[in-house]
A and B are shown apart, each in its own frame.
Chain A
């Protein structure tokens, strides 16, 4: 299976901060990389698909970039509703895998 490694595992930030989360694949996955946001007790929500495409209805402060093995999710100006856990997911191989998650907390 392709291993997905996210960093950091957690971070503290303030409203208005620019936040960057990275995800690294154990082999090249082209641009088959998706990002989700999950809040406690809720199902994940798709933010970004194919590395950089913004899902309908997701605010433009979220953006994704990267290809091959290295990817980033950026929140340009953190809002109160953005405090959550974020997961990357590769959809390159027949067996899907997720990163371990990055928890974004209030500083």
Chain B
């Protein structure tokens, strides 16, 4: 069965960086994009961006451009999100998510599998 398992909670100081992992299993990792979505406590969902694990191509929401980087290690079917220059308003649960389907050229942009979420707390 498809699973996305994320790394554990993190506590960081303002200005620091955080790297969250998302380990995929139950499907061919390089066949589906990985997207990242975050949710501040009691707030709505906010899309961060996407990565194609096969090519390494990425796309970031404009709000996060310059502060976020997606990478992957295909040998262990794991995607990573690194967010730098952390601020208190980056405190949120970060989810990785997989599209419902992908062809050889593109993926849908609705998500049927999600990680369990990683709480990142930014506090001095």
**A residues at B contact (CB < 8 Å):** 1, 32, 34, 36, 38, 43-46, 49-50, 55, 87, 89, 91, 94-101
Contacts and interface: CB of A to CB of B under 8 A. Distances in A.
Contact of B47 (A36, A46, A98): A98
B109 A46 contact: no
Interface in B74-124: 95, 97, 100, 108-112, 114-117
B110 A89 contact: yes
B110 A94 contact: no
B1 interface: no
A46 B112 contact: yes
8 contacts: A32-B109, A43-B116, A46-B112, A49-B108, A95-B61, A98-B46, A98-B47, A101-B44
Nearest to B101: A49
* The 5 nearest A-B residue pairs measured at CB: A91-B109, A43-B114, A96-B47, A34-B110, A49-B110
- Residues of B in contact with A, size category: 20 to 34
Given A43-B117, A89-B45, A96-B109, 17 more contacts: A1-B62, A32-B109, A36-B45, A43-B115, A44-B95, A44-B111, A46-B100, A46-B111, A49-B100, A50-B110, A89-B110, A91-B108, A91-B109, A97-B47, A99-B44, A100-B44, A101-B44
Contacts of A94: 59
Contacts of B116: 43
A43 B95 CA distance: 8
In the complex, which of the residues A34, A45, A55 has the most CB atoms of chain B within 10 Å of its own CB atom?
A34
Contacts of A101: 44-45
A21 to B, nearest CB: 14
Interface string B37-60: 100000011110000000000010
Contact of B110 (A1, A46, A95, A97): A46
B44 A87 contact: yes
Contacts of B109: 32, 91, 96
A92 B71 CA distance: 25
A52 to B, nearest CB: 13
A55 B101 CA distance: 12
A91 B109 CA distance: 6
